[in-house]
Amino acid sequence: MSRRHTRPARLIAIFGSGETSPVMTSIHQELIARVRDPQLDAILLDTPFGFQQNADEIAARTISYFRDHVGCEITLASYRHGGRATALELEQFLSRLGDANYVFAGPGSPTYALCHWRDSAMRERLTAKVRRGGCIAFASAAAISLGAYALPVYEIYKVGADPSWVEGLDLLGEIGVRCAVIPHYDNREGGTHDTRFCYMGETRLRFLEAMLPEDVLILGVDEYTACIIDVDAQTVTVRGRGGVTVRRRGVERRWERTSFALSELPHPAHASAPVAASASRSSEPNGMDSSHRWSGGGRPRDREPAQRMGGGHPWHG
């Protein structure tokens, strides 16, 4: 009698930080156990940190972590620079991405990753995984890319660029969650200055969220915390040290170490609270960088970003 084939679970795991720390080991193990069908095909995407001089070292450390601590093999699916990859290399990368049932990506630069994923079929492959089964486990910089709008962290925090958004993969939009993902939500590294909200602080965050359309929320994931979305069960589970926060127009709702219905995620309590009169509430964010328009297929017309906000806004870095 032939064995009945069942589709693996459809999971999206968003790690706020600490994705290769002991705190997260059991979470990786549980996620992997749910998508084996029956074999594990786990891959590491190196695009987010592909620009770094120590990219090889980061990849090797991650592979060692999965082997030595999680207890499984993960292989590198390398795509560090879209402009330098050959057609064959892109084809091989997309093939590995399509075949894998556990896709992991983590630290680096969200805008660098999006820049090099934008003209590939990356989004289509990930969307197919959400529909057909497998786990997308994105952390830190890679996690930022999952939303409709992505935060250019380095450009704002390190370079001093004016707060703005770039267009993200909008993978969470496929399950009805239009959002901007902010990892490191509870960061306290600044000591005497506010580095919460992925180093933005409250002042920048308020300005940034005023740029977002009314239907887009902020999904914050604390450090050493995982937000696990089970697409089949339509549930969200919060694991790890901290919590998950949904924020819209300054109103927040927070969950810690619990599970709840996915339908609750887009609806923070009192989400319709009035916004300051000075806040921009256009159908698309005025702070979208037009140089980061999505040119791949499958992008709804009503999500095309507006031009970058001009000078004269209240934040100057």
Enumerate residues 6+ apart whose C-beta is below 8 A from 299. Answer: 170
What is the structure's pLDDT at 8? 87
Give the domain 10-303 fold. Rossmann fold (3.40.50)
Q: Where are the domains of the chain?
A: 10-303
C-alpha dihedral sign at 156, 157, 160, 162: positive
Residue pLDDT tens, the chain, 317 long: 444 457 889 999 999 999 999 999 999 999 999 998 789 999 999 999 999 999 999 999 999 999 999 999 999 999 999 999 999 999 999 999 999 999 999 999 999 999 999 989 999 999 999 999 999 999 999 999 999 999 999 999 999 999 999 999 999 999 999 999 999 999 999 889 999 999 999 999 999 999 999 999 999 999 999 999 999 999 999 999 999 999 998 899 999 999 999 999 987 654 433 333 333 333 345 555 444 433 333 333 333 333 232 232 323 23
What is the structure's pLDDT at 313? 30
Q: Which of 259, 257, 180 is nearest to 217 (CA)?
A: 180
Task: List C-alpha distances in Å: 148 to 173, 218, 306.
Answer: 7, 10, 13
Measured CA to CA, the distance from residue 31 to residue 26 in angstroms comes to 9
Q: Which of 21, 10, 300 is nearest to 126 (CA)?
A: 10
135 neighbors 32 (Cβ within 8 angstroms): yes
What is the structure's pLDDT at 300? 34
* 157 φ/ψ angles, rounded to the nearest 5 degrees: -80, -40
Amino acid at 56: D
Measured CA to CA, the distance from residue 130 to residue 143 in angstroms comes to 15
Strand 10-15 to 134-139 pairing: parallel
Measured CA to CA, the distance from residue 201 to residue 267 in angstroms comes to 23
What is the structure's pLDDT at 269? 56
Other CB atoms within 10 A of residue 307 CB: 12
Starting at the edge strand found earlier in the chain, the sheet holding 134-139 runs: 74-77, 42-45, 102-105, 134-139, 10-15, 225-230, 235-240, 259-261
pLDDT in tens, 106-123: 999 999 999 999 989 999
Measured CA to CA, the distance from residue 267 to residue 252 in angstroms comes to 10
What is the structure's pLDDT at 288? 52
Measured CA to CA, the distance from residue 178 to residue 175 in angstroms comes to 9
